[in-house]
C-alpha cells in the first residue's frame, strides 16, 4: 500500500509538468519564442482562385487515391465553380460503361469536401 502511494505522489507532478509544457509549446513559435498567430492569411481570391489551380490540386489528390495512370487517362478535367466550391470531374473517353473521378474543393481554403469515382 505504501508503494502505491509513492508512485501516485510521483505521477501527479510529472503529469502536471507535461501538461503545462505542452500548453506553453502550443502558444510559442519554436523559431524564437514568439506567440503564434491565431488566424491564418487567406488570399483575396482564396487558395484555389481559378479552374487551373482546382484541376492541378484535383489531379494530385486523385492520383494519390486512384493511381496516376487512371487519373491521367481521365484528362482533360472539367471544372465548374458552384457556391464557392470547385467541382472537378474527369472525362470519360470512348466508353459507354464506366465512370470518372470527381472531387469538390472549397475555393476559400482548399478543403476537400467530397471525393468519388464512378463505376
Tens digit of pLDDT for each residue in 18-39? 444 444 434 445 556 666 667 8
Asked whether residue 46 is assigned to any structural domain, the reply reads: no
Pick 69 or 95 by higher pLDDT.
69
Reported as half-sphere exposure (CB side, CA atoms, 13 A), residue 97 has a value of 1
Q: How far is CA 29 from CA 21, 38, 48, in A?
A: 13, 12, 27
- Asked whether residue 45 is assigned to any structural domain, the reply reads no
For residue 7, what are the domain limits?
1-39
Looking at the structure of the chain, the number of domains it has is 2
Check: pTM over 0.75? Answer yes or no: no
- Domain identity same for 98 and 65: yes
86, 48 contact by CB (below 8 A) = yes
Kindly report, residue by residue over 65-93, the tens digit of the pLDDT. Answer: 999 999 999 999 999 999 999 999 999 98
Residues 82 and 102 reside in one and the same domain: yes
Amino acid at each position: 500500500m505504501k508503494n502505491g502511494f509513492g508512485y501516485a505522489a510521483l505521477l501527479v507532478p510529472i503529469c502536471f509538468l507535461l501538461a503545462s509544457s505542452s500548453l506553453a509549446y502550443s502558444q510559442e513559435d519554436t523559431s524564437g519564442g514568439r506567440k503564434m498567430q491565431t488566424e491564418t492569411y487567406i488570399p483575396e481570391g482564396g487558395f484555389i482562385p481559378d479552374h487551373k489551380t482546382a484541376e492541378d490540386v484535383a489531379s494530385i489528390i486523385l492520383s494519390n487515391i486512384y493511381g496516376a495512370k487512371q487519373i491521367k487517362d481521365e484528362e482533360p478535367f472539367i471544372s465548374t465553380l458552384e457556391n464557392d466550391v470547385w467541382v472537378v470531374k474527369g472525362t470519360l473517353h470512348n466508353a459507354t460503361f464506366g465512370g470518372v473521378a470527381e472531387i469538390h474543393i472549397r475555393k476559400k481554403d482548399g478543403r476537400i469536401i467530397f471525393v468519388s469515382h464512378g463505376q
